[in-house]
Structure 1
Amino acid sequence: MGSNAAGKPPAASWEFHATGPRNLSSPGWRDLIRSSWRDPNYRRIAMSCFVQVTYLLELDRQESRAGENALAPTWWKPFKYKLVRPLIDSRDGSIYGALLEWDQLAALSDLIVVKPQGAPRAVLALRGTVLKQLTVVRDLEDDLRFFARESLRGSVRFTGALEVLKSAIDKHGSSNVCIAGHSLGAGFALQVGKTLAKDGTFVECHLFNPPSVSLGMGLRKIREKADKVLNRYISSSGGGSSSNASGGPGEEREVISEIGEERLIKEVKRWVPNLYVNSCDYICCFYADLSGVATVTAEKHYGVHSKLYVIAEGPSKFLEAHGLQQWWSDDSELHLAVQDSKLMCRHLKSLYVEQ
């Protein structure tokens, strides 16, 4: 689902000191008093850098960089984290994700004797498409899977990410684990998070440029509209009276829907994903309204269902607008819109309403 800019510039330009956040303060003993992790901007920067790790792990693999020459470690070490496990696609051996954990030994070197408040113990990061010969086939296969079906459940990456996240939750607890992804990786992160939420397990979720368009979504909307027209016609002609009187399928679906709506109102506040959207990126722009301005929808009865951050005056050309680098940029100005995405509401509604 669109490639990150990580595949474009020369390798040396992806050193953390060259391309990473310019004004990022190094963790120190002051974090024991006032943790940087409690700042939403710092959290966004850290999560986007962790996702960058996954791109660079794959590029390091493809370009045979290891040890001191590897670029990926320069992106997790400043935050005092360590790589615990790369996620490897069994189809082509590519690295599509990484599990990172708080590195207490590295933190002690900066006199941080305990983990700062708010810092997750573990982060699962997932990358998007890399348009390189060794991985592009499998990446595009999953891109097409989402576009055709609006589902990534059939992919080995979905299964692998879900298993790794569950093991991290078993080890650290759901409140100490985060999942983050960019582009196609954000699609996987959303669906893995939804799967866990449906079972009552809620993890913090950060979605950078999540895909918002699919053929499956369009066909579903057409089908729903056709069903409404048909039901309206049957109702007006009196043809549905016997079915409704006997509690037929139509009435049963309506009752289930009402129960689901009630559960949605009560439960959806427990899982609130963080979405980061550039309105000039046609892959993710449909999470925001058509004007690109963050506004609150009329569906207030659903409560807070997502935090949607729309970048103001961000990159306007598509490749940059879909890129990951804008999200760790120090001068990025974001507008926070809570409860403004009808598309996100529909995603979360599917947790509680049978369709």
Structure 2
Amino acid sequence: MDRFDAVIHFAGLKAVGESVDKPLLYYNNNLAGTITLLEVMAQYNCKNLVFSSSATVYGSPKEVPCTEEFPISALNPYGRTKLFIEEICRDVYGSDPEWKIVLLRYFNPVGAHPSGDIGEDPRGIPNNLMPFVQQVAVGRRPHLTVYGNDYNTVDGTGVRDYIHVMDLADGHIAALRKLEDCKIGCEVYNLGTGNGTSVLEMVDAFEKASGKKIPLVTAGRRPGDAEIVYASTERAESELNWKANEHHRRSVAASLVQGIYVAERDRQLQREGPELALSPLWSEFFHFRLIRKLVDDADLSIFGGIYEYKPPQPSSGTVKSQELSPRFVIAFRGTVNKADSISRDIELDIHIIKNGLHTTTRFEIAMQAVRNMVASVGCSNVWLAGHSLGASMALLTGKTVARTGVLPECFAFNPPFLSPPIERIKDKRIKHGIRIAGSVITAGLALAKKATQQVSQNHRALPAPPDQFAALSDWFPRLYVNPGDHLCSEFIGYFEHRNKMEEIGAGFVERLATQHSLGGLVMDVVSGGKNTEAPVHLIPTAVLTVNMSSSRDFKEAHGIHQWWREDKIFDTKIYQYK
């Protein structure tokens, strides 16, 4: 009989003010309902739970950002129901270690699904700030009531950590994947942005975005409201591999890469100076400044650049726990189809096909820039980003430093995957059969190569070389692919095929095959074993984002522009090498 594998528990009354007026209603609904749910789950042996808790369990913290280790002491009945349910979950796990429970402490959700199908327009009185603001903007309400203007904050209004609901949704998916970890017990994670923003700052941002003025009326503080609350998200980032503002991060990275494309066109068309150059338009909007251009020594084209983040001075001391943006971004463009650069770019494209990108002077220049920047400011302050040919450059430089334990954030848009376009085959059985055959052949050749190397090492009494593929398993580059782009779409099948091979009991074959490419093994034979660098596209782990929206043609499917748009449907999955 089919059964549920896990439960995500969202249900519950959630208005702070109402909970103060009707505490018994909240205790009866939220606590009794959860106890009933846990009893039914235990009855049917479904012992995997993700519970939507709340940052209200921190009460009014003495310091910020709030870490998961902070003392918990809610200020209102709603917060206390969340706190009590967390304790109930811990007791349930303590009595039966078969339970796996993730407690997600939300901060302040805002926004809606970009399709507009699921909006932020509740039938009754809203419980959150932004629906009130929106209802004032469209004329349903005469003004926005701001509760409290005498807090010890930047402008006297309360400070909260506002997180988009799409980021929260991704956090729940990450939590479900965490439940697959056999070591998990009852764990708690903050879901926030790590930034504190006041009520008036949120209103100001809405006014600038919408062009509408929001009339304000000030009232006294509401009972149970804290002054300043925002999250530390380090645990969720490290253990769930989750971070808020994914769309913003993706858009920024793609725009900076586009800035490098335009910088090269500025060079070719001699558009110099602030009045003529167009490339700054792609970076300065996000407060990034191009501080160094990476120039190819063969044709003097600009193939990359180093951006520095120069945020504006916070107005009146805005509360920030950490910058969502990195201090530096090293971005690489792809092929530019113009006379001044096309020949050199195609030469680099051929090097990718021949698995020789690492032998080029362009790679050496890029690698030196990455090493110097990481050594200077630390890898946590550096992003790598690239598109097409530039995506291969970003991945290769990232892989090179990742082997030493340095794990930079990497955004690879439409990265080339050199393989026959099997993903374009519509019949799933044929497609799966071809992949199985390819895996068996690749694994067989890899075993033969490994045996030959082992004999050679034994003759020369050499130690076994380290497993460079497994050494990359802690690095999660972000790959962005489009099924309509045959140059990168094979990444979809590359990762999905691993799971299918595990399901049919052929995991060992695929674990070996996934470390090699059939073309790479052939090239290795042709070169007499001199080419020791693995193909760029062979990656053990990744965060794979697929653009599920249809594309009109290959040019659109391969374009960088799709990755900063909000009207696309993206599907993101995390793949980890086991």
| Shared fold per TM-score greater than 0.5 | yes
1:79-111 Cα distance to aligned partner (Å, 9 max, x none): 11111101011111110001001114xx12866
Partner residue, 1:52: 258
- Give the aligned partner of residue 93 of structure 1: 300
**Structure 2 gap ranges (5+):** 1-154, 160-192, 198-229, 231-242, 421-437, 512-538
Say if 2:384 and 2:394, in contact at 8 Å, map to a contact too: yes
**Residue 128, structure 1, aligned to residue 364, structure 2:** no
Q: Quick one: distance in 1 between partners of 2:407 and 2:400?
A: 10
Contact 2:399/2:472 (CA < 8 Å) preserved in 1? no
Q: Which residue of 1 aligns with 2:283?
A: 76
Matches within 5 A, 1:284-299: 284-289=488-493, 296-298=499-501
* 1:168 counterpart letter in structure 2: M
Call closer, same or farther: CA 1:49–1:115 in 2, change over 3 Å.
farther
Tell me, yes or no, if the aligned pair for 2:257 and 2:332 is still in contact at 8 Å.
yes
Ranges in structure 1 where 5+ consecutive residues have no aligned partner:
1-28, 232-239, 350-355
Taking CA–CA contacts closer than 8 Å with sequence separation of 6 or more, which of the two structures ends up with the larger relative contact order?
1
| Structure-2 change in CA distance of 1:72 and 1:110 (3 Å) | farther
| Secondary structure of 1:179's aligned partner | strand
Aligned-partner Cα distance in 1 for 2:322–2:448: 56
Q: 1:220 to 1:296 in 2, by over 3 A?
A: closer
Q: 1:222 to 1:184 in 2, by over 3 A?
A: farther
1:315: which partner in 2? 551
Identity of aligned residues (%): 31
How do 1:128-147 and structure 2 match up within 5 A? 128-147=334-353
CA distance in 1, matches of 2:304, 2:394: 10
1:278 aligned onto 2:441: no
Q: Which secondary structure does the structure 2 equivalent of 1:288 belong to?
A: helix
1:147 touches 1:214 (CA, 8 Å); kept in 2? no
Instruction: Show CA shifts across 1:4-57 (max 9, x none).
Output: xxxxxxxxxxxxxxxxxxxxxxxxx9995169x831111000000010010000
Alpha-carbon separation, structure 1, partners of 2:413 and 2:309: 22
Q: Is residue 419–residue 490 contact of structure 2 (8 Å, CA) maintained in 1? A: no
| 2:335 is the alignment partner of 1:172 | no
Q: For 1:225-304, what aligned pairs fall within 5 Å after superposition?
A: 225-226=444-445, 248-249=455-456, 256=464, 260=467, 264=470, 267-289=471-493, 296-298=499-501
Q: Is the 8 A contact 1:209 1:276 kept in 2?
A: yes
Structure 1 pair 188–297 and aligned structure 2 pair: CA distance change class (3 A): farther
- Aligned with residue 39 of structure 1, among 234, 241, 245: 245
How far is the alpha carbon of 1:326 from its aligned partner? 0.3
CA RMSD of superposed structures (Å): 3.9
**Distance in 2 between residues matched to 1:81 and 1:225, nearest whole Å:** 49
C-alpha distance in 2 between matches for 1:134 and 1:220: 41
The structure that has the greater radius of gyration is 2
**TM norm structure 1:** 0.70
Counterpart-to-counterpart distance in 2, 1:185 and 1:220? 28
Q: Does 1:212 align with 2:423?
A: no
CA contact (8 A) 1:212 1:287 kept: yes
Structure with more helix by fraction: 1
Cα distance, 1:151 vs structure 2: 3.1
How far 1:294 sits from its partner (Å)?
10
**Which residue type is aligned with residue 562 of structure 2?**
Q
In the alignment of these two chains, the number of paired residues is 288
Report deviation, 1:58: 0.2
**Which residue of 334, 338, 349 maps to 2:574?**
338
Please state how far the C-alpha of 1:171 moved relative to its aligned partner: 2.0
The one-character-per-residue Cα deviations of 1:269-323 (angstroms, maximum 9, x if unpaired) are 4211000000110110110128x98995555898981111011114241111001
